[in-house]
Amino acid sequence: MLKPNRPPVEIDLPNDLQTIQGIVGGYADEFPYLDNMIFLFNEEGKDLGLQPNLYLNHGELYFDVIVGNVLVVGTHIPEMVSLTEEQIRFCLEDLSDHRVII
């Protein structure tokens, strides 16, 4: 999980909509990350004025920002699945500066 202005942390959570919505603070939207991973976040976060969290860059150019709490989950279409240990280690390092290149 990635909270604004905090380092990313690994959390265990049940795979249910109510838990995910509780963490992101509302209806969850998704954005593709890397192979078999997605970001989950509050789809109304910008309208609600949530804090900027994850900056999305296209190469060197700023593209967009995800606000509020962000979860990273694995995907095995059509389901969400747990991240592997390797994916967790990668995410903890890659997301430490709150920026991703897409």
Specify whether the CB–CB gap between 73 and 40 falls below 8 A: yes
Please state the domain extents for the chain: 17-101
Q: What is the pTM of this model?
A: 0.92
DSSP 30: E
Closest by CA to 10, choosing from 64, 82, 78, 101, is 82
Q: Is the peptide bond before 78 cis (omega within 30 degrees of 0)?
A: yes
pLDDT digits (tens, 9 = 90+) for 49-98: 999 999 999 877 888 999 999 999 999 878 899 999 999 999 999 999 99
Contacts (Cβ under 8 Å, ≥6 apart) of 43: 26, 27, 28, 29
pLDDT tens-place string over residues 21-63: 999 999 999 999 988 999 999 999 999 999 999 999 987 788 8
In 27-70, DSSP assigns E strands to 28-32, 37-42, 52-58, 61-67
Rg of the chain (C-alpha set): 13
